[in-house]
C-alpha cells in the first residue's frame, strides 16, 4: 500500500511519541532494548511504556531499575500473565502520545525503523505497519505454520492483512482511540488495526532473530491465537457447518428414491458397510459442526461475563489521572494502583 496524504488534516507535528512493548520473562533483553530505543529515538520527545505481563524471572526488577533512572520509562505491572495481546492492550491504554508504536521487547522488531514510520505518519498516514521482508532466526516450523495460518485467514476473514506484517505498527491517536474502543476479549490486534481503516501504509524491514531467551508462543498458544484471530474476523466456519449440513442432507434425499426403486425391483441391498460409513461420516460432521459452534459460544460466554481485560498490580512513572479509569468502556479494565 502506498502513502496517501491525508486530506482531512494539516501537517502533523509530534508532541509526544509513545513506544509500547509487552515484557514477559525478558530479563536478558530489557537493558539492551531500552538502549536501542533511546539510540533510535535520540532527539525525539518520547515515552516508553513497558508492560510486565506477570513475568516470573528478574524482568520486574530490571524494569524497576529502568523506571528509577529514567522518568520517560513508564511501567504497568499486570497482576499475572494475561498474554501478549492483552499486555499490549494494557500498554496502549496507558500511552499518552500523539502517535503510538507497538513492538516486541525481544528486539525482533528493530526500533531503528521507528523514524521511518514517523515519516509516513507525518505525511498523513494513520496506521503504519512494518512488513517483514526477511525473517531471521525463525524455525521452519514457525514459518510454515505462519504461512498456513495467513492463507486460511485470507480465505475466511473479512479484513485484508499483509501476510508478512506482525504487531510492529505505528498508530495515530485517532486510530488508537478507535482501537481502544474495541474491548473484545479475544484480541487479534493486527487485524483490528486494519479493521479501523483510515489511511494505512507499509514499511518494509528485516526481522531479526530474538536477542536472547526463547519464544513465548508455544504450539497450544499459537493454535489458540489463530482460532481467536479467525473467529473474531469471520463467521465462515459457522456457515461452513450449515453448508456441509445441506450437502449431506441433499445426498440423503437423492438416496431415498434410489433405495425405494431398488426395493420395488426386488434387488437385495447388502448395504451394511455403506450405512456404517455414512453413519460415521454424519456423526463426524455433526460433532465437528458442534465443535465449531462451541468455539463461538465459548467466546460469546467470555464476552458476556464482562470481566476486565486485565488487572494492574502496580504502575510506575504514570500520572495518577492516567492510571485511573478512562471514559471508554476500558474503564472496567483497570485495577487499582497500589503504588
Ligand atoms: N509476551 C507477553 N506475554 C506473553 C507472551 C509474550 O507479554 O504471554 C511478549 C514477549 O515478552 C515479547 C512479545 O510478547 O516481547 C512477543 O513474544 P514472543 O517473542 O515470544 O513471540 P514470537 O516473536 O516468537 O512470535
Ligand atoms: Mg519474538
CB 84 less than 6 A from any atom of ligand 1: yes
Segment (H or E) for 118: helix 114-122
CB 87 less than 6 A from any atom of ligand 1: yes
Q: Is the pLDDT score of 34 beyond 70?
A: yes
Cβ–Cβ contacts within 10 Å for residue 256, how many?
Answer: 9
Mean confidence (pLDDT) of the chain: 84
Residues written for the chain? 339
The one-character DSSP state at 106 is: T
The predicted-structure confidence for 282-338, as pLDDT tens digits, reads as follows: 877 888 888 888 888 888 888 888 889 999 999 999 877 666 444 344 333 444 443
- Please give the distance, rounded to the nearest whole angstrom, from the Cα atom of residue 104 to the centre of ligand 2: 6
* For ligand 1, mutation pick of 19, 20, 24, 228 (most atoms within 8 Å of CB): 24
- Please give the distance, rounded to the nearest whole angstrom, from the Cα atom of residue 23 to the centre of ligand 1: 7
CB 52 less than 6 A from any atom of ligand 1: no
CB 216 less than 6 A from any atom of ligand 1: yes
φ/ψ of 182, rounded to 5, equals -95, 100
The predicted-structure confidence for 64-80, as pLDDT tens digits, reads as follows: 999 999 999 999 999 99
CB 146 less than 6 A from any atom of ligand 1: no
Contact call for residues 73 and 66 (beta carbons, < 8 A): yes
* For ligand 1, mutation pick of 51, 58, 77, 104 (most atoms within 8 Å of CB): 104
pLDDT bracket for residue 279 (50, 70, 90): confident
Q: Kindly report which listed range (21-35, 49-63, 124-138, 322-336) carries the lowest average pLDDT score.
A: 322-336
Contact call for residues 202 and 3 (beta carbons, < 8 A): no
Cα 234 to the chain's mean position, in Å? 15
Residues with Cβ within 8 Å of 172's Cβ and at least 6 positions away in sequence, in order, are 12, 98, 99, 121, 125, 126, 127, 198
Q: Which ligand is nearest to the CA of 103?
A: 1
CB 56 less than 6 A from any atom of ligand 1: no
- Please give the distance, rounded to the nearest whole angstrom, from the Cα atom of residue 331 to the centre of ligand 1: 25
Q: Which atom of ligand 1 is nearest to the CA of 108?
A: 23
The predicted-structure confidence for 143-196, as pLDDT tens digits, reads as follows: 888 888 888 888 888 888 888 888 999 999 999 999 999 998 888 998 999 998
CB 83 less than 6 A from any atom of ligand 1: yes
- pLDDT winner (highest mean) among 81-85, 224-228, 284-288, 325-329: 81-85
Q: Which ligand is nearest to the CA of 217?
A: 1
Q: 28-39 burial by CB neighbour count: b if 16+ within 10 A, else e?
A: bbbeebbebbee
- Please give the distance, rounded to the nearest whole angstrom, from the Cα atom of residue 215 to the centre of ligand 2: 6
Q: Which residues surround ligand 2, an ion (CB under 5 A)?
A: 104, 106, 108
Q: Which ligand is nearest to the CA of 189?
A: 1
Contact call for residues 156 and 234 (beta carbons, < 8 A): yes
CB 109 less than 6 A from any atom of ligand 1: no
Distance CA 130, CA 59 (A): 27
Distance CA 162, CA 193 (A): 12
Indicate the pTM of the whole model: 0.77
- Residue 305 three-state SS: helix
Residues with Cβ within 8 Å of 260's Cβ and at least 6 positions away in sequence, in order, are none
Amino acid at each position: 500500500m502506498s502513502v496517501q496524504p491525508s486530506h482531512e488534516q494539516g501537517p502533523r507535528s509530534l508532541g509526544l511519541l509513545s513506544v509500547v512493548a509487552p515484557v514477559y520473562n525478558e530479563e536478558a533483553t530489557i537493558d539492551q532494548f531500552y538502549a536501542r530505543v533511546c539510540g533510535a529515538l535520540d532527539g525525539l520527545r518520547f515515552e516508553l511504556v513497558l508492560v510486565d505481563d506477570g513475568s516470573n524471572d528478574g524482568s520486574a526488577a530490571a524494569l524497576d531499575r529502568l523506571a528509577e533512572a529514567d522518568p520517560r520509562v513508564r511501567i504497568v505491572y499486570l497482576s499475572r500473565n494475561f498474554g501478549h495481546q492483552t499486555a499490549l492492550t494494557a500498554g496502549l491504554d496507558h500511552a499518552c502520545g500523539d502517535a503510538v508504536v507497538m513492538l516486541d521487547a525481544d528486539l525482533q522488531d528493530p526500533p531503528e525503523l521507528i523514524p521511518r514510520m514517523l515519516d509516513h505518519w507525518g505525511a498523513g498516514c494513520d496506521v503504519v505497519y512494518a512488513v517483514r521482508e526477511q525473517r531471521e532466526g525463525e524455525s521452519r516450523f514457525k514459518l510454515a505454520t505462519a504461512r498456513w495460518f495467513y492463507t486460511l485467514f485470507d480465505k475466511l476473514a473479512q479484513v485484508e492483512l499483509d501476510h508478512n506484517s506482525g504487531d510492529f505498527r505505528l498508530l495515530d491517536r485517532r486510530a488508537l482511540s478507535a482501537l481502544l474502543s474495541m474491548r473484545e476479549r479475544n484480541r487479534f490486534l493486527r487485524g483490528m488495526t486494519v479493521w479501523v481503516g483510515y489511511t494505512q501504509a507499509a514499511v518494509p524491514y528485516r526481522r531479526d532473530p530474538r536477542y536472547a531467551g526463547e519464544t513465548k508462543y508455544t504450539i497450544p498458544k499459537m493454535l489458540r491465537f489463530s482460532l481467536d484471530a479467525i473467529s473474531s474476523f469471520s463467521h465462515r466456519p459457522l456457515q461452513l457447518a450449515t453448508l456441509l449440513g445441506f450437502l449431506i442432507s441433499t445426498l440423503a434425499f437423492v438416496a431415498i428414491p434410489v433405495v425405494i426403486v431398488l426395493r420395488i425391483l426386488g434387488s437385495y441391498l447388502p448395504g451394511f458397510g455403506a450405512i456404517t460409513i455414512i453413519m460415521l461420516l454424519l456423526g463426524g460432521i455433526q460433532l465437528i459442526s458442534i465443535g465449531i459452534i462451541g468455539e463461538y459460544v465459548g467466546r460469546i460466554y467470555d464476552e458476556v461475563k464482562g470481566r476486565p481485560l486485565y488487572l494492574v498490580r502496580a504502575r510506575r512513572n504514570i500520572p495518577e489521572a492516567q492510571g485511573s479509569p478512562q471514559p471508554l468502556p476500558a474503564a472496567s479494565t483497570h485495577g487499582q494502583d497500589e503504588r
